[in-house]
Amino acid sequence: MTRALAARGACVALHCQTSLAAAETLAAELRASGGTVEVFSADLRRASEADALFEAIQRRFGALHVLVNNAAIFERRPFLELTDADWERTLAVNLTAPFWCARRAAALMVAQGQGKIINLACVGGARPWAAYVHYNVSKAGLIMLTESMAKALSPTVQVNAIAPGRVDFSEAVDAGRDGRVTPDDIVQALLYLLGADAVTGETLFVDAGYRLGLTPDRVARQA
């Protein structure tokens, strides 16, 4: 997503927490190709750091037109083994942090008269997995947060979500045809939503039909 946005001329504020070296490497690569990318580090589990992040972005760029809420954790825990710490950590990163970031971003966007917020949800928020109860709940909450913010911020700010299915990062993937999703499918969904001014409060499922029960095996049998 960062590459696609930078390639289209966006000035990108790239957030990271622990992967600073990887973020700096990517930023350097994109700058070498003429992109404008700055790296910002913050622990989004802390409201004070989220606030400081957006203050730093505003100082550097002066405006904020798009927020992509992409930070998340995905940990398997059978329900009877799920601890309070597991629950609180997952909701803090997957739901509370996007709320904090969206609230700060929305204030800037409303002041400037326009903006778009894109939340990265997941098909698990609509079709739950048994061993990921905490994750499912966090993503279902993010979908409802998307709808609620869209209503609260209309018509100035459009708020939408992308809910990927199983993303395959290998190169030998026939996207959609075999029931899997590629990173480029997510990028294309993002670019669509950024250009769709009449779309708000929607969750775009990019899952090759997984939510409808089309697993890779069933897709192959129906082909």
Known catalytic membership, residue 135: yes
Residue entry with tokens 């946005």: 5
Residue entry with tokens 């700060």: 104
Residues 47-83: b if buried by 16+ CB within 10 A, e if exposed: eeebeebbeebeeeeeebebbbbbbbeeeebeeeebe
Decide: residue 201, CB within 10 A, 0-12 exposed, 13-18 middle, 19+ buried. middle
| Catalytic residue chosen out of the listed positions 132, 135, 192, 210 | 135
Decide: residue 199, CB within 10 A, 0-12 exposed, 13-18 middle, 19+ buried. middle
Active-site positions read 135
